[in-house]
A and B are shown apart, each in its own frame.
Chain A
């Protein structure tokens, strides 16, 4: 049973484990401009990210191969985040002591630009608060999925993968 990778035992993947499958960008690259990172360690038959990428940055010889992003070619357009059926693409961008995380958000309510939201880590624990910088609503998304850019403390850049929107009625 020991050959079962821990991401399949747990249902989430740590950045350290992810890096065994998919090389992660350098800090320098992360500071340059937003960069797409697939949390996609498993060979499944799926190719829309490669097909939609305008710069051909994603290599994937067959749909069952893992998406490997050429971080130099990636222009940070977020189309892969919008289209990914597994909601497994994110973008990370370091800006000063903050990080901007681009993530899909298919729940209600959709936060508004400028709204403060609760930041959730990979297992749904609240780890802090952050600000929504950008909202691409469903109708503008190329993949029918609303996406958010959320500003988070830089040390949480690799933890935060969802947000919870609070609304008082």
Chain B
């Protein structure tokens, strides 16, 4: 049994401890704020396999399969619902692009299909069919409650003996050569250290700071925090806009009904580079901009009341694909999820546990594709589609 430190108490750091504990490892999890405070609790809840490249499609197909069983496995209601993703095309060229994506997705077993607007309207009763020609529809995509998902992992992990600590900030490592031998951390103003056999950096937007503690360059994985904002309405009756509905050509704008309280979450690609890693200030341009799109997607939304707007980070890499793998001898990373961390967490959590504990995993994760050193080599992947 080895002792593994996981840094970052979002869902990407929250899933591996449970998986590692199942493999018999001892785990200590560090979160400098409260659990989920970084990106997880700020996400739009969506889960999809509709990507445009093989690696992401295969990873997400597997992840969705894990999501389907997660509630039972963790013994906690996480409100996972397969309510689908509906992408909408506004031009013939886009319809053709959708068809190509659908072929690729079908090839790996993702059951996306092209649907007409009548069917789309049946799925989303408040949809404006007028501006759109067709939809790419995968009923197996879905959503879950980010808060409950993370807590389900943590509760289960604690039962398996994981030491999960919040308000505890990692401040440095002790190393022998490249190998990390201990983690130094601060809690309630007190500095302590713990001996470890391996470290997983799951700090997403904060990951470069952790890499630096391990003696690496901050830019070895260039992650930039972009402020992504959401606007949400008051709770509404379910069934009005259950799938994530997105016309990508409208600046990636989307709406999705929260699976828990029924409020409609509205997002868009109106992004701002964060001024710092504490810059969560919502902006006025987003508030108006996102709703301009939202009422065109679903005009009856005009009568709903907005109750809040908030911001979180898309921790973006240059190709919008995460960095997943081993960085040093016993130092691993899963970060830079560029907005996809929540949906990928079940697969990535399991894959990382396998990699760290056994050096391998049965998860269909293309290690090559997500290789953390690819940026240093100047090898960028095709940009992953970034929605919800």
Q: A and B touching (C-beta < 8 Å)?
A: no
Residues of chain B whose beta carbon lies under 8 Å from any beta carbon of chain A:
none
Residues of chain A whose beta carbon lies under 8 Å from any beta carbon of chain B:
none
